[in-house]
Amino acid sequence: MKRFFLHTTFIILTLISISAKAQNKIGVTNLQCEMLSNPEGIDVVQPRLSWQINANVSDVKQTAYQIIVSSTLENLNANKGDLWDTGKVQSNASVNIIYNGKRLENRQNAFWKVILWTNKGEIQSVDKAHFSMGIMNYADWKSTRWIGYEKASAGDSISQYSKLSARYLRKEINLKKQVKSAKVYIMGMGLYELYINGNKIGDQVLAPVPTDYTKNVKYNVFDVTSQLKEGKNMLGTILGNGRFFTMRQDFKPYKIKTFGYPKMALQLYVEYTDGTKEVIRTDDTWKVTTNGPILSNNEYDGEEYDARKELKNWNTTNFDDKNWFQAEYVQEPGGFYEAQMTPNMKIMGEVKPISIKQTPKGTYILDMGQNMVGWLQLKVKGKSGDKVILKFAESLQADGSLYIENLRDARTTDVYTLKGEGEEIWEPTFVFHGFRFVEVSGFPTKPTLDNFVGKVVYDDIKTTGTFESSDAVMNQIFKNAYWGISGNYKGMPIDCPQRNERQPWLGDRTTGAYGESFLFDNQTLYAKWLDDIKNAQTADGGIPDVAPAFWRYYGDNVTWPGTYITVAEMLYQQFGDKKVIEKHYPSMKKWVVYMEQNYLVKDLMTKDKYGDWCVPPESLELIHSKDSARTTNGELIASAFYYHLLQKMKKFATINGNNSDDIQYYDSLSERVKTAFNVKFFNASKNNYANNTVTANLLPLAFGMVPENLQSKVFENIVHEVEVTYNGHISTGVIGTQFLMRTLSEYGRPDLSYKLASNDTYPSWGYMAKNGATTIWELWNGNTADPKMNSQNHVMLLGDLLIWYYENIAGIKSNPETPGFKQIIMKPDFETGLTFVNASYESIHGTIKSNWKKTKNNLQWNITIPANTSAIVYLPSTKVSAVTLDNKKLDKTAVSYKVENNKLILILPSGSYVLNVK
C-alpha cells in the first residue's frame, strides 16, 4: 500500500513537472567556457563563462544570475559551489563573466551551471557544463621527453620538393588497476594522429593548429577514460610534417624552411578507482618506424600512400615491433607549451562529384562542381601494386585538361598504391588541397562517380549566418564567400589553399574578418591569430605582414600590420571580447609608437608596401594596373590608415581605462596627421584628394578626416567616379573595397552599393561568379590574368561586402555602445532595389532574424530579437498610422517610438515581431 502510494505520488509529481515544463517557455542553453563548445584544457587562470536564454515569450530580461562552479558533479547536483558560488548577482550580463572563485588548479575539473532571475521568473540551467584546466604547472612537463626520429629514410628526399615518410610511434602500457578517469595531453609536431588500442582519439584532422613553434607549441587534451582498460593497452601515434617540416619556399632565406623533423611529447594521466594515480610520459622506451604506408606527406605536393606497407594492428597490443627502432630523444621545438583554445580542423562536409570525363590520354577528369578545400576519398579495386594518381587543380584549360600554372610549383598530387585485397577505401591523412577538378590516372578499372567523395576540411566552427535575397547574383556571391572563407580557415586564416603559398597574410583580413564573423563563429580562431601576431612582433615593435611569420616579411608596412588592431576591434564589437583588447594593448601601442618614431615624416606616414593592392587593371591580362590614374598614392593610404588606427587605439585606451596620457597621445598625433594629410592631399578647387581615385577620397571620408562642410562634396566625387567614370563598377583594390559598400550606403547612395553588389560585368564579384567562380578570386580578372598570381580562392577582395549584407541590407548590426549584440541596430536600406531579404545571425546572445519583403504598397518585416537583448528598429516612414506591429496599430501598442531623419524609430525588447508599413 505504502509502495503504491509512493508510486502514485511519483506519477502525480512527474505530471506536475511535465505540465510545468510545458508552460515554462524560458530556458538557459549554450553554457560555454571561453566560448568553446568542448573546453578540455583551459589555458587562462580566470576563464570566462557565458550562456544564452531561449524563450518563446517576448520581453525577457535577465535581472540576476547565480553561477555555481563545483569540483565534482555530485557537488554541483547538491548545489555546492565549492569552487565558486557567486550568490545572487543583480546583473543582466550573460556573456563573458570572468571566473572569480577559488584558484583553479592544474588540470582541475570544473562542473557548472547557472540560475537566472528574469522579469518572467526564475530559471535554472538544465544543462550542466564542464570544463577542465590545462597544465598550469609548467613543471609537469619537465620529465616528459620529446621523442622522434631525426633522419631521412630510404626513399625520402630533403629538397625543395621534400618527401618525408610519416613517423609511426607506439608504446605498450600496463594499467594495474581499474581506471576511473584518464586524460591525455599531446603535442605532436607538425601534425599527429593519436590512437589507443587501435581506435582514433577525437574526430579532429590535421591537428594541432599551426604556430611559430619556436614561440609557442599547442597541446590538445582528450578525455580517454572510456578507451582504456585494466591491463595492457597500446598508445600509437602517427606524425606528419605539416608546417613543422616543409623544406619548401624556394629555399629563400627569409622564408622558414623547417622547424626540424616531426616530434612529439605526450602525457597520459590515469586515476584508478582506488584513488591512486599514474602518469605515463613519452620517453625512449617508445618504438618508432618510418617504414609504414605514408611514404610522403607534404602540404603543397601531396601524400603518397602504399597500402602494401600497411602495418596491420600496429596500434594494438597484437603486433610485433621487433623491426622498429627505439625512439630518439630530440630537442624541444622551443616555444611555450599552451593548451589549444581554438578548435582543430575536422571533416565538415562531403561533396559528391558531378561529372567524370575521359581525356584523350586515357586519364579521367573529375568535376566536384565546387571549388573546395580538403581531399578526395577513393574507393578502388585492383591488383597489388596498381597506382592511382590524383592531381588537383582549380580549373580546366580550354582543351579540358587541368590548369595548373596558377599553383606555381605546388605539385598537389596524391598517390595511392593498392594492396590488391578487394575493395580499398583510402583518403590522405596529412595534406589538404584547394580544388574543383581532379585528374585521375592509373585507375585499374573504369572509374565512376561512385568511386569518389570530396571531404571538406576546415576549422570545426559553427556556421552562424544565413542570407538570401531577391537578387540571384548577390546570393551566389554569398555562397562563394561562404566556401572561400571556410576553406581558408586552417587553424589560422590563410590567403589561399592551393598554390605554393597558403600563408596567413594580415592584410587579407583587415576588414574581412569582421564580415566573416557574420557567417562563422570565428572568435577563438581570431583570438588565436592575435596571439600569433603578438608572438611575431620584433623586440622594437615591428609587426610583419604574415603571422605566424613563416615568411619573414618585416617590411614595416602600415596597412597589413594594422590588422592586429582591426581584428581586436572586431572581436570586441561582434563578440564582446574585451580581454583581447586588454591583452594586446601594450604590444599594439608599441607598434604604433615604433611606426611614429621611425616612419612619420612631417606628420605623414611614409611607409607603404602594397598600395591599394589588386585594383582592377585596365587590361584583362595584367595582374597589377599600370595606369597611374587608377593607382592611389602610397603615402596617402599609409597616412590615412595610420590615422584610422590611432582612432581605434584611442577607443581601446578608453575601454581599458588607460591613463589619459595615452588618449592625449593618440589625439594629438592623429590631429597632426589629419592636418598634414589635408594640407598635402586635398585639392580645394576640386574638393577631392590626390588624383581623385575612389580610394583616395574614400579613406579620408570613411575615417572622418574630411572637414564636415566638405564631406558631401568629397562624396560627390566618389559617386561620380563609381557611377560615371567606371560606369557603376568597382575601381578599388584590397584597401578601398574595405570601406566602399558601407560608405556609399551611409552617405545616401545604397542604390549604388547595390549596383556594385549585383553587377556581373567586369570588374565585380558577380563577374567572377558568371565566369564560373564558386569561391572568390584573388584578382577581379582572375580568369584571364597572368597565372603567376591568380588564385581562384582568395577572400581579400570581399572588402566590406559581407558587413554591408548584414548591417546595411539585412539590418543586423551590433550597437557599438553595447558590443556583442546586447543591443541590435536594425536599420536596413530598403531603397536599394531589392524586394526581399531573409537573413539570420546566431549572435552570442542568441539568434537574430530579419526577413523583409516589399510589395507595391507594403513593407512586411519579420524580426526576431534574442532574449535578454533589445533592438533599435528603424522603419522607412514618418507616419505612425501607417505602421502595425503584430497586426496592431503601432500607437495602440505599448511600444515607444519617435520620428527622426525621416524614419520611425522603435526600441523593441526581445521577441519575434511582424511589422507592416503601408
| Nearest distance in Å: CB 191, ligand RAM | 23
Q: Which is nearer to ligand RAM, 698 or 796 (CB)?
A: 796
Backbone phi and psi for residue 662, each to the nearest 5 degrees, phi listed first: -65, -45
DSSP 362-430: S-EEEEEEEEEEEEEEEEE---TT-EEEEEEESEE-TTSSEE-GGGTT---EEEEE---SSSEEE--SS
Question: Which positions from 445 to 484 touch ligand RAM by CB under 6 A, shown as an x/- string?
Answer: ----------------------------------------
Which residues on adjacent β-strands are paired with residue 848? 841
C-beta closer to ligand RAM: residue 26 or 796: 796
Nearer residue to ligand RAM within complex by CB, 193 or 612: 612
Return the number of the residue (188 or 434) whose C-beta is nearest ligand RAM: 434
d(CA 649, CA 57): 41
Q: What are phi and psi of 798, to 5 degrees?
A: -65, -25
Q: Which stretch binds ligand RAM (CB under 6 A): 362-370, 456-464, 493-501, 852-860?
A: 493-501
Site string for ligand RAM, 507-546 (x = CB under 6 A): xx--------------------------------------
Distance of CA 539 to the CA centre of its chain: 28
User: Burial level of 909, CB count in 10 A (0-12/13-18/19+)?
Assistant: middle
What is d(CA 128, CA 67) in angstroms, rounded to the nearest whole number? 11
Q: How many CA atoms lie within 13 A of 431 on its CB side?
A: 35
State the minimum distance, in angstroms, from the CB of residue 467 to ligand RAM.
Answer: 25
Answer for which of 416, 610, 666, 913 binds ligand RAM (CB under 6 A) is 610
Q: Are 575 and 843 in contact (CB under 8 A)?
A: no
Pairing of strands 302-306, 413-417: parallel
- Residue 583: name the closest of 95, 39, 45, 37 by CA: 45
Judged by CB under 6 A, the chain residues 495 through 514 that form the site for ligand RAM are: 495-496, 501, 505, 507-508
Could you tell me the three cell numbers for 22? 510545458
User: CB of residue 377 vs ligand RAM: minimum separation in angstroms?
Assistant: 29
| Residue whose C-alpha is closest to residue 798's, from 507, 459, 489 | 507
Q: How far is the CB of 542 from ligand RAM (least distance, A)?
A: 17
The span from the CA of 555 to the CA of 550, in Å, is 14
Q: What is the DSSP string of 46-64?
A: S-EEEEEEEESSS---EEE
Burial 288-305 (b: 16+ CB within 10 A, else e): bbbbbbbbbbbbbbbbbb
Query: Are 699 and 641 spatial neighbours (Cβ–Cβ below 8 Å)?
Result: yes
- Residue closest to ligand RAM when measured from CB atoms: 505
Q: Which three cell numbers stand for residue 670?
A: 592623429
Nearer to ligand RAM, 507 or 750 (CB): 507
Rounded least distance, CB 553 to ligand RAM, Å: 8
Helix, strand, coil percentages for the chain (3-state, nearest 5)? 25, 30, 40
Distance CA 766, CA 87 (A): 55
In the complex with ligand RAM, which residue's Cβ is closer, 495 or 516? 495
Phi-psi region for residue 268, left (φ > 0), alpha (ψ -120 to 50) or beta? Answer: beta
Report angle CA 225, 227, 230 to the nearest 5 degrees.
80
CB proximity list for 753: less than 8 A, separation 6 or greater: 740, 741, 742, 744, 745, 804, 808, 829, 832
Q: Give me the residues paired with residue 270 across strands.
A: 182, 278
31 binds ligand RAM (CB under 6 A): no
Least Cβ distance, residue 871 to ligand RAM (angstroms): 37
Q: Which residues within the stretch 611-650 sit at the binding site for ligand RAM (CB under 6 A)?
A: 613
Of 427 and 501, which CB lies nearer to ligand RAM in the complex structure? 501
Residues 563-602, one symbol each (x = binds ligand RAM by CB under 6 A, - = not), give ----------------------------------------
Q: How far is the CB of 778 from ligand RAM (least distance, A)?
A: 6
**Residue with Cβ nearer ligand RAM (306 or 501):** 501
Task: Give one word for 793, left, alpha or beta, with left for phi > 0 and alpha for psi -120 to 50.
Answer: beta
How many residues touch ligand RAM under the rule CB under 6 A: the total is: 10
* Cβ distance to ligand RAM smaller for residue 10 or 254: 254
If you write DSSP's letter for every residue of 592-620 in order, what string do you get? Answer: HHHHHHHHEETTEE---SSSSTTPPPSST
Q: Which is nearer to ligand RAM, 133 or 496 (CB)?
A: 496
CA 101 to chain centre: 31
List, by residue number, the catalytic residues: 501, 778
**Nearest approach, Cβ of residue 747 and ligand RAM (Å):** 28
Q: How far is the CB of 667 from ligand RAM (least distance, A)?
A: 31
Using CB under 6 A as the binding rule, the residues of this chain from 327 to 356 that contact ligand RAM are: none
All three cell numbers of 363, joined, read 586519364
Least Å from the CB of residue 545 to ligand RAM = 7
Instruction: Give whichever of 591 and 613 is closer to ligand RAM, judged by the CB atom.
Output: 613
- Round to whole Å and give the CA distance between 458 and 371: 14
User: Could you give the string, one character per residue 152-191, with x where binding to ligand RAM holds by CB under 6 A and - elsewhere?
Assistant: ----------------------------------------
Which residue, among 194, 157, 395, has the nearest Cα to 297 in the 3D structure? Answer: 157
- In the complex, what is the shortest distance from the CB of residue 247 to ligand RAM, in angstroms, rounded to a whole number? 20
The least distance separating ligand RAM from the CB of residue 556, rounded to whole angstroms, comes to 14
If the CB atoms of residues 776 and 865 are measured against ligand RAM, the closer one turns out to be: 776
Residue selected from 221, 389, 718, 796 as contacting ligand RAM according to rule CB under 6 A: 796
- Do the Cβ atoms of 144 and 150 come closer than 8 Å? no
Q: Is 337 helix (H, G, I), strand (E, B) or coil?
A: strand
Binding site for ligand RAM (CB under 6 A): 495-496, 501, 505, 507-508, 610, 613, 794, 796
